[in-house]
Structure 1
Amino acid sequence: MTRKFINREIELKRIKNLLSSDKFEFIVIYGRRRVGKTALLKKAIENRKALYFLCARRNIRYNLRKFSYKVCEFLNIPKAEFESFFDAFEAILSKERNPIVVMDEFGYLVEKDEGILSDFQEIVDEILKDTKAKLILCGSYISVMQGRVIGKKSPLYGRNTMQLNLKPLKFEHLFEWFPKIKFEDALKIYAVTSGIPKYLEFFEGRDAENEIAEKFFDSSSFLYNDAVNLLSEELRDYSTYFQILEAIALGYTKITEIGNYAFIEAKDVYFYLKNLMSLGIVERAIPILAPRKGKRGIYKIKDNYFRFWFKFISEFQEEIESYAQDIAIENFRKKFNTYLGEVFEDLCLELIKNLRFFPFTRIGKWWHKDKEIDIVALNEKMREILFCECKWKDKVNAEKVCKELAEKSQYVQWHNKERKETFAIFAKSFSKKIKEFEGKKIYCFDLKDLKHMFVK
């Protein structure tokens, strides 16, 4: 279902301000597919005279012909075909003093012929630079847009006046998208969509778990097919990336483990992981007090859509495509609550970052050998430390959790004899909330508290 334009006010204002400036502006926008780049662009140029062109994944000559026709329509001149993009922009500037030109999916052109970047350098330097024109290049190939379009080795390097990496919607925006949604349903939808607007369109926001079963476990559905489509479009040798993501989803989180599962030499694994990290699909996590360049880091799937897909869909593709999806759905219903606990933990981390009820200088997860604490936050100046546990359960015994947390906290080696300790527990509900444990301040947050924090 189609939804209204949500939570792009800051980005929209920035773009509109540049479109209203009295000098040349060169804007580069990129972000993963389905994140809402085109909707943002069309909103920004709404009620303005602008040339919007969607590049096709075809050769340069084909795109130039189509662009030529768009230019002629924009200028209200007879249909013609220009010899080059340079000629097309010259024609635009000969008729329009302050043109706005938007080229969506510009990465397609770069993919077909990287020489197009030198052509656009010439267009910027010789035609547009000293005018009031506005040029917007937008793309979904994040690696292409970051590396080849605005990277240090690009002919266009240093020429853009704004670059925007458009991110998915945050969890709190789901309450605006689905005004009457329950907290649990919001978490379930966020846990499988990562806040991607295109994916949210497939949900009503009621009875989320059944909606997920219906939308993902059908071989003809968009949400079932999009993971493979995205990886195959963005990455060469996508089958190797597929195996790596599958390995991480199954719990193989260290480079040697990933390499063994995917049949790749350990020394070659990082190349693939680096590309997945540049796409925002994977991230490296280290314990909060460990050296950043140490060997204790692990890799996890950051994007919830891919995390869910590789945890619940990948293993059962054969069954789903042969209409025997019941076994996959049964596995999903059995393990989904545990999976939600992982997403809930990430959500609580973001909440602490945003609310800052505990002023911290560092925050993250802590683990050592068989000990693990969901969230640890440090105030290094005041030598204060916050220990948090996240329980996706009802009727949590806060005192019992605090006792376990106090025992584990002793293993966190950081000013142990002089620090001030505070505990926080996040849960669906509590059998009884407490405010103090063995002289320590305790925060207990249930779903009612959390919804109040998110829905302001």
Structure 2
Amino acid sequence: VIDEFPFLIQSNSSIPSIFQRVWDNVLQKMGAKMILLGSSISVMESDVLGYRSPIYGRRTAQIYLTPLKFKDIKGLFPEHSWEDIVRIYGIADGIPAYLQEIRYRLMHGERLTDVFTPGKPLFEEGEFLIRSELWEPGRYLLILKAIAFSNTKFGEIVNFTSLPSPTVSQYLSNLKKLHLVRVEHPFGARETRRNARYFLFDNYFNFYFRFIYTHRDELIEMGEIEGFEEMFNTYLGYIFEKVAMEMIWEKMRMGEIQARSAGRWWRKDAEIDVVAEGRKNIYFFEVKWASLKKKEIGRIISTLQEKVDEHWKTNKRIHLGVVGKEIAGKEELRREGFLLYDLRDL
């Protein structure tokens, strides 16, 4: 097992050729297994997995390690509430090293807001990763900042950055290859560039560009961001949509929701946070990072029903639901036929 194989390649470009000869002439004949690990996606994909690599065609498997799922993070913070876990997830995503850093700080009496102050690893990590993966990082940083501030349409990114459209297109393509940016299309719609929306791949980069990168000088000079809690709570509304989507997929796997595909849906004048569809059923959910009472649920469902009636034509059985931080009287409302989930359902 060789960890951080890209570091070897960067120190000696002939390493893949050396490994190819050793593998072909010695290790393969011995029935040995070789596991190469690396955190640099660009190097692993070009110099290890790429067809021009000397060791191309010799792999028997490849694994892209994804972050931990939201519900699994609770095991690292058993003494914290689910609401706290959402806050932690909004900063660290499910990345073990970042979660471990936060866990260490909290165990030693620090606040969650202390984990990204100057001198702490998460304060520099975002820009360090970009500079280690990409040439001309300045333009990439600008594009990532644009997306973090909800400029998710191609035209919005161009306007925010003032970069030429072909440049933005090429840079977005590179960022997608590095799993830094993902592209989404409205659920059930034909995929076109006009209906594409771009999002940062993980929550840490979202948090970094919204708060650390943008408020760097303020953090250095003042040690904190003025009005952070209010801005962070607004940001958690977006994070909770990801939590809700994961929750819906889990209910689908359990058979509680009879659907096989799910996603976000939008048009120019309307948006539905989660749509899940099966052979006979279709489900529509609104997601709210808030504590909701019965009257509020009624208003949300009514608005959701109007959007479904206006924009969806289907012969399938329609189900309407809400995912909230906390829903009062949830069981009573469920008996009325609504699908309702909150953090207590995790």
Fold in common (TM above 0.5): yes
Q: Deviations over 1:29-68 (max 9, x none)?
A: xxxxxxxxxxxxxxxxxxxxxxxxxxxxxxxxxxxxxxxx
Q: State which of 107, 121, 126 in structure 2 corresponds to 1:227.
A: 126
- 1:114 CA drift (Å): 3.8
Q: State which of 313, 323, 327 in structure 2 corresponds to 1:426.
A: 323
Where do 1:264-413 residues align within 5 Å? 264-321=163-220, 323-326=221-224, 328=225, 330-356=226-252, 357-379=256-278, 381-382=279-280, 384-396=281-293, 397-413=296-312
Which residue identity lines up with residue 215 of structure 1 in the other structure?
V
- Tell me the distance in 1 between the aligned counterparts of 2:14 and 2:114: 45
- 1:377 CA drift (Å): 1.0
Q: Deviations over 1:151-188 (max 9, x none)?
A: 23322122112222112221122221112221001111
- 1:113 CA drift (Å): 4.6
- Tell me the distance in 2 between the aligned counterparts of 1:148 and 1:292: 31
Q: Deviations over 1:56-95 (max 9, x none)?
A: xxxxxxxxxxxxxxxxxxxxxxxxxxxxxxxxxxxxxxxx
Q: State which of 110, 133, 137 in structure 1 corresponds to 2:36.
A: 137
Considering only aligned residues, what root-mean-square deviation do their CA atoms show, in Å? 2.0
- Tell me the distance in 1 between the aligned counterparts of 2:118 and 2:106: 23
1:254–1:299 Cα contact (<8 Å) kept:
yes
Q: State which of 112, 116, 129 in structure 2 corresponds to 1:212.
A: 112
Change (3 A) 1:369 1:143: same
- Tell me the distance in 2 between the aligned counterparts of 1:264 and 1:121: 42
- Tell me the distance in 1 between the aligned counterparts of 2:251 and 2:5: 38
| Equivalence for 1:195 | 94
- 1:431 CA drift (Å): 3.8
| Equivalence for 1:54 | none
1:319–1:325 Cα contact (<8 Å) kept:
yes
- 1:334 CA drift (Å): 1.5
- 1:234 CA drift (Å): 1.6
In structure 1, stretches of 5+ residues that fail to align are: 1-101, 451-456
- Tell me the distance in 1 between the aligned counterparts of 2:239 and 2:54: 41
- 1:316 CA drift (Å): 1.1
In structure 2, stretches of 5+ residues that fail to align are: none
2:118–2:223 Cα contact (<8 Å) kept:
no
- Tell me the distance in 2 between the aligned counterparts of 1:422 and 1:224: 44
- 3-state SS of paired residue (2:227): helix
- 3-state SS of paired residue (1:195): coil
- Tell me the distance in 2 between the aligned counterparts of 1:119 and 1:256: 47
Which residue identity lines up with residue 355 of structure 1 in the other structure?
K
- 3-state SS of paired residue (2:52): coil
The answer to which of 243-252 and 394-403 deviates more is: 394-403
- 3-state SS of paired residue (2:30): coil
1:203–1:211 Cα contact (<8 Å) kept:
no
Where do 1:101-112 residues align within 5 Å? 102-112=1-11
- 3-state SS of paired residue (2:340): strand
- 1:256 CA drift (Å): 2.8
Q: Identity of paired residues, percent?
A: 35
1:181–1:206 Cα contact (<8 Å) kept:
no
> Which one has the largest radius of gyration?
1
Which residue identity lines up with residue 320 of structure 1 in the other structure?
L
Q: State which of 141, 148, 151 in structure 1 corresponds to 2:50.
A: 151
Which residue identity lines up with residue 340 of structure 1 in the other structure?
L
- 3-state SS of paired residue (1:239): helix
- Tell me the distance in 2 between the aligned counterparts of 1:287 and 1:172: 26
- Tell me the distance in 2 between the aligned counterparts of 1:224 and 1:164: 29
- Tell me the distance in 2 between the aligned counterparts of 1:153 and 1:104: 22
Change (3 A) 1:264 1:111: farther
Indicate whether 1:444 and 2:340 are aligned: yes
Where do 1:44-63 residues align within 5 Å? none
Which residue identity lines up with residue 113 of structure 2 in the other structure?
A
Where do 1:89-104 residues align within 5 Å? 102-104=1-3
TM-score w.r.t. length of structure 2: 0.90
| Equivalence for 1:16 | none
- Tell me the distance in 1 between the aligned counterparts of 2:133 and 2:9: 13
2:154–2:196 Cα contact (<8 Å) kept:
no
Count residues in correspondence.
336
Change (3 A) 1:169 1:124: same
Which residue identity lines up with residue 419 of structure 1 in the other structure?
K
Q: Deviations over 1:391-429 (max 9, x none)?
A: 1111332222111110111233342xx231001211122
2:106–2:112 Cα contact (<8 Å) kept:
no
- 3-state SS of paired residue (2:169): helix
Which residue identity lines up with residue 334 of structure 1 in the other structure?
E
Flag the structure with higher helix content. 2
- Tell me the distance in 2 between the aligned counterparts of 1:399 and 1:414: 23
- Tell me the distance in 2 between the aligned counterparts of 1:195 and 1:376: 24
